[in-house]
Amino acid sequence: MYKTILVPIDMAHVAEGKVNIDLAAKHATGGSKVILLNVVEDIPNWAAVELPANLLEKSIEAAQTELKAIANASGMKMDVVVRTGHSYNTILDVAKEKNADLIIIASHRPGLQDYFLGSTAAKVVRHARCSVLVVR
């Protein structure tokens, strides 16, 4: 039913991300494409001075390696995209760029159940042009 399913994964909470990947597999048909996306948040210049060199590059590499391993383990063909930027803006940009017709996103970080929707999830739901499946 869905042609392109985008699954944004927060690398700090990969376990819940895997649940969303399983859901993507259930919503996919033979011709569907599933894209796993992690957004590595930009480090502000004032903070970068205090941090080890190449931290951003290393974070990107680590996210790519981990997402590729998750994709391989899933047994389905999935694309892996890692970008830098603000999480919600970048999720929306990639959804538009890849023509996603479904985004599967967790409602919030584990442990913050008191909030109806986390900040990233809320902005994606509000501004996405396609369907969004919010997983609680």
Residues that bind ligand ADP (CB under 6 A): 8-10, 13, 16, 37-39, 87, 105-106, 108-109, 112, 118-121
Q: Give whole-number Cα distances, 19 to 65, 106, 127, in Å.
A: 19, 9, 24
**CA pair distance 93, 19, nearest whole angstrom:** 23
Q: Shortest gap between Cβ of 30 and ligand ADP (angstroms)? A: 25
Question: What amino acid is encoded at 87 in this protein?
Answer: S
* Nearest distance from C-beta of residue 126 to ligand ADP, angstroms: 12
Instruction: Decide whether 31 or 122 has the Cβ nearer to ligand ADP.
Output: 122
Q: Which CB atom, from 14 or from 31, has the smaller least distance to ligand ADP?
A: 14
- Long-range contacts of residues 73-78, Cβ cutoff 8 Å, at least 24 apart: 74/21, 74/25, 76/25, 76/28, 76/34, 77/34, 78/21, 78/34, 78/35, 78/36
Q: Which is nearer to ligand ADP, 65 or 119 (CB)?
A: 119
Q: Which is nearer to ligand ADP, 28 or 40 (CB)?
A: 40
Residue 91: closest CA among 5, 22, 25: 5
Residue nearest ligand ADP, Cβ-based: 118
- The residue with tokens 């990639």 is 94
